[in-house]
A = this chain, B = another copy of it.
């Protein structure tokens, strides 16, 4: 459903498009779509502004490309939940993968956070479409495990929401977390056992 015969790219196109997307990710994740300027993106990419607009039709085009490109990566861990695996281990694996993504890719997390906060103008179809399907599939797997008594019964959808909320919080609200904890703390290192313990207690049978 995704790729529709992309035009071939020269080496220079490949490199510069990557530079632009990289710079744009930084710019958008700090100030949001409207807050980021094409000049900022150009500078972060090490290119001139007209050159940026040579590779992308518009600022909006850059933003949309970023979002759709990164969405797959963002959702990948949920697709890897294995119905044949051990229920608690599968959930914990997903939780850990998601927290690890918040730690390693906070810019991506913030990019999506801004988009959703704004009402997801570029993602509306996806949210109610493929995302919903993926979530429903995962929820069905979870519900199956609960029916078999291998996982404590809770609302599967809200279980997934809780995982998103808990893990992304550490990326999106990083400054708040760090300010409250004070220096000498690694939020992600501390969050890992806390969250693991949380789901072990909630879902253990």
Q: Do A116 and B31 form a contact, CB below 8 Å, given A179-B127, A181-B157? A: no
Q: Report if A180 contacts B (CB, 8 A).
A: yes
**Known contacts A128-B182, A158-B190, A190-B158, A117 near B202 by CB under 8 Å:** no
Against B, the Cβ 8 Å flags (1 = close, 0 = not) of A148-189 are 000010110111011011101110110111011110000000
Q: Which residues of B contact A198 (CB under 8 A)?
A: 154, 162, 198, 202
Let me know if A67 is at the binding interface, CB within 8 A.
Answer: no
The reply to whether the CB of A8 lies closer than 8 angstroms to some CB of chain B is no
B32–A32 CB distance below 8 A = yes
Q: Does A70 contact B (CB under 8 A)?
A: no
What is the total number of copies of this protein in its complex? 2
Q: Which residues of B contact A172 (CB under 8 A)?
A: 113, 116-117
A34 contact from B31, B124, B165, B195, Cβ within 8 A? B31
Residue A35 CB within 8 A of the other chain: yes
Q: Nearest Cβ distance between residue A164 and chain B, in whole angstroms?
A: 7
B31 near A190: Cβ-Cβ < 8 Å = no
- The verdict on A58 contacting chain B, using a C-beta distance below 8 Å, is no
Tell me if A132 and B180 are in contact (CB < 8 A): yes
Whole-angstrom distance between the alpha carbons of A41 and B128 in the complex? 31
Given the known A-B contacts A113-B117, A127-B176, are A132 and B182 also in contact in the complex, defined by CB atoms under 8 Å? yes
Distance in angstroms from A203 CB to nearest chain B CB is 9
- Whether, in the assembled complex, A71 has its beta carbon less than 8 Å from a beta carbon of chain B, the answer is no
B164 touches A30 (CB 8 A): no
Does A51 make an interface contact (CB < 8 A)? no
B contact residues around A162 at 8 Å (CB)? 166, 169, 194-195, 198
9 A-B pairs within 8 Å (CB atoms) are namely: A110-B117, A120-B176, A127-B175, A131-B176, A152-B201, A162-B194, A165-B169, A165-B173, A202-B202
